[in-house]
Amino acid sequence: MAAARVLPETKRDLAGLKEFTGRASRSQIDRWWSAIQRGMTTEDLPALRVPGDSIPPPRVWSDKNPEADKRLKLARAAVTELSTEMSIPVENLLTPDLLRRVAWTPPEPATGEAIGSALSELGARPWQVAATSQLIAKAFVDATQSPNEQPEPQS
């Protein structure tokens, strides 16, 4: 790290760094200098940002992906309601990360079966899939409807 911060121009500059003054460092200075020279001349550099499978935090969804934001809000409310009915913590019923992932990138078509498969692939347990997949599918359908098209709540 010290050499990368300073970028010494000569082997002498490298040897002059306080981090390279120990006996072990002095005995390996040729090796270190060779590594620095190879690093400075290579075109085969690692990516600055490694592509990941992360999704943005939900607080920015309304700007980045309003449809996903609506799906998440409706599905989260439905899962929370079911967790209350079942008297188990919502995180046990379905982890928030799994719900976010399926809401951000739902399967097409977003049927209960397809959502169940997606949840299973993401690591949900069979009982979690059975308890939540149809509920989430309904929330996703409701999210695509305008307020005028929303079905009347059942009593």
Render pLDDT for 87-134 as a digit per residue (tens, 0 to 9).
Answer: 999 999 999 999 999 999 999 999 999 999 999 999 999 999 999 999
Which pair of structure tokens corresponds to residue 70?
């609506």
Number of domains in the chain: 2
Q: Can you give the residue range of the structural domain that contains 37?
A: 2-41
Residue 33, Cβ neighbours under 10 Å: how many?
A: 19
pTM of the entire predicted model: 0.63
Provide the pLDDT for residue 68.
95
Q: Is there a domain that residue 66 lies in?
A: yes
Residue 85 to residue 27: CA distance in whole angstroms: 69
Residue 155 to residue 152: CA distance in whole angstroms: 9
Provide the pLDDT for residue 6.
87
Supply the CATH number for residue 115's domain: 1.10.150.80
Residues 40-94: tens digit of each pLDDT: 888 887 777 666 678 999 999 999 999 999 999 999 999 999 999 999 999 999 9
Residues 5-21: tens digit of each pLDDT: 888 888 888 888 888 87
Residues 137-151: tens digit of each pLDDT: 999 999 988 665 555
* 34 and 64 assigned to the same domain: no
Contact indicator for 102, 127 with CB cutoff of 8 Å: no
Residue 34 to residue 21: CA distance in whole angstroms: 17
Look at residue 155 and tell me whether its pLDDT is greater than 50. Answer: no
Helices (H), 45-125: 61-64, 66-86, 90-93, 96-104, 112-122
* 62 and 138 assigned to the same domain: yes
Contact indicator for 137, 110 with CB cutoff of 8 Å: yes
Q: Report the chain's mean pLDDT, rounded to a whole number.
A: 88
Q: Is there a domain that residue 47 lies in?
A: no
Q: Is there a domain that residue 152 lies in?
A: no
Residues 19-41: tens digit of each pLDDT: 887 777 778 888 889 988 888 88
Provide the pLDDT for residue 147.
63
